[in-house]
Amino acid sequence: MYGKFQSYLSEELDKIAQAGLYKKERCICSEQGAEITLADGSKALNFCANNYLGLANSPRLLEAAKRTMDSRGYGMSSVRFICGTQDVHLELEKAVSEYFHTEDTILYAACFDANGGVFEPLFTAEDAIISDSLNHASIIDGVRLCKAVRYRYANADMEDLERCLQQAQAQRFRIIVTDGVFSMDGNVAPLDKICDLAEKYDALVMVDESHSAGVVGATGHGVAELFDCYGRVDIHTGTLGKAFGGAVGGFTTGRKEIIDMLRQRSRPYLFSNSLPPMIAGAAVELFKMLSEDNSLHDALVQNVEYFRTKMLDAGFDIKPTQSAICAVMLYDAPLSQRFAAAMAEEGIFVTGFYYPVVPAGQARIRVQLSAAHSREQLDKAIAAFVKVGKNLGVLK
Ligand SMILES: *Cc1c(COP(=O)(O)O)cnc(C)c1O
């Protein structure tokens, strides 16, 4: 029976490869970190992980994970509401609420699930969801699962958002949904202006903090801190898989009744397993660690500043950013691929993106900085950028 379907799949896969969009995976044979070791024993500097605070191999988090595994076991074999809730899950929910200054928090296996399970329990066909055009795939999928009327506004464009809000007065409730930091340009959503418009047009506000939490704001607490919007955001979603340790796990945090309704009705929460105790235990330790001092966030901010300044001085065209994502603009798609390949040969891993991941004619190299990068490693990456830039005619 498989034969016809197999040839269909092979043809589709060939098309993906011919379009240059076939994704290959690099096999890392070390911990995740600023420097990684590959299967052939070679080493590379890693500038393409979301390991913003450098915690993916933190001894303190590893120790907390082991300790919790010893005291609370390996797995829960249950969803939360049947018999999958431990003290450590409740502690983690409390820690997330404290971090974001919110009333309550619900955990998920991933932020993909948090976003997938947030709209359908809260909104019906009578309501409106107004979504930024560059929002993450998981928000797009979550919106698809909900019957609410959809509006889409151009990325961070407040005039376009206002137009959507005016049209959406036809619906019962409205919610504006945005990523905190957009992962391709590294730009920050103008949350203060979004909240102003939400108040003017009677709408709720949701922000996905996946790339912003731990990164933006004076002490890294995300876009609500950056724009002083505490109390004005109704829902934050986020991941434990980026700055917050890099393992796995997601959360939705916000108003008490919203979280309560999600616990009753959110399908990825009701029908999917609890976070493993070791992840919850390590994450509790993580929030404790972040509350003690701001050194990791300070190191990240200094690294971003240093890298950006040196790259601009070298003559590269870099999108303005308030995040740890640095888009080095090349505009030309094949060039972006040659550039990334040449960087890999220099032992520097960065990602080349082009259409359809970014708009046509906007190809770029994305660099993700981490608190774990040393000055020496940053200098090595910058030197490689300059060398490759000259070789490929990007720099004079
Ligand atoms: C990475 C990311 C997610 C998915 O997070 P996971 O916990 O890995 O599922 C969701 N939203 C945004 C904006 C992201 O960047």
Q: Catalytic residue among 138, 183, 266, 323, which?
A: 183
| Substitution site in 51, 108, 138 for ligand 1 pocket (most atoms within 8 Å of beta carbon) | 138
- Could you tell me the pTM of the whole model? 0.96
Helix (H, G, I), strand (E, B) or coil at 35: strand
Domain boundaries, the chain: 23-52+294-391, 59-292
Q: At what angle do helices 277-292 and 59-72 cross, to 10 degrees?
A: 140
Task: Strands of the chain (E only): list them.
Answer: 35-37, 43-46, 104-108, 128-132, 149-153, 174-179, 204-208, 235-239, 250-254, 325-331, 348-349, 351-353, 363-368
Domain 23-52+294-391 class?
A: alpha beta
Residue at 287: amino acid letter? F
Indicate the helix (H) or strand (E) that contains 391.
Answer: helix 375-391
Distance CA 212, CA 321 (A): 12
pLDDT of the residue at 356 = 86
Q: At what angle do helices 277-292 and 87-100 cross, to 10 degrees?
A: 30
Let me know if 211 is a catalytic residue: yes
| Substitution site in 242, 252, 357 for ligand 1 pocket (most atoms within 8 Å of beta carbon) | 242
Among the atoms of ligand 1, which is closest to the Cα of residue 110? 7
Give me ligand 1 centre to Cα 393, in Å: 35
In this predicted model, what pLDDT tens digit does every residue of 33-81 receive, in sequence order?
A: 999 999 999 999 999 999 999 999 999 999 999 999 999 999 999 999 9
- Residue whose C-alpha is closest to residue 271's, from 116, 99, 94, 87: 116
In this predicted model, what pLDDT tens digit does every residue of 359-391 receive, in sequence order?
A: 999 999 999 999 999 999 999 999 999 999 999
Q: Which residues pair with 188 in a beta bridge?
A: 181
Contacts of 309 (CB under 8 A, 6+ apart): none
* CB distance 294 to 219 below 8 Å: yes
Give me ligand 1 centre to Cα 110, in Å: 7
Domain spanning 59-292: CATH 3.40.640.10: yes
**Strand order across the 35-37 sheet:** 35-37, 43-46, 348-349
* CB distance 227 to 205 below 8 Å: no
Q: What percent of the chain has pLDDT over 70?
A: 100
In this predicted model, what pLDDT tens digit does every residue of 106-157 receive, in sequence order?
A: 999 999 999 999 999 999 999 999 999 999 999 999 999 999 999 999 999 9
Let me know if 242 is a catalytic residue: yes
Rg (CA), the chain: 22
| Substitution site in 32, 51, 111, 119 for ligand 1 pocket (most atoms within 8 Å of beta carbon) | 111
Q: Which residues pair with 130 in a beta bridge?
A: 151, 176
In this predicted model, what pLDDT tens digit does every residue of 158-192 receive, in sequence order?
A: 999 999 999 999 999 999 999 999 999 999 999 99
pLDDT of the residue at 242 = 98
Distance CA 326, CA 330 (A): 13
Distance CA 214, CA 216 (A): 7
If you take atom 15 of ligand 1, which residue's CA is the nearest one? 210
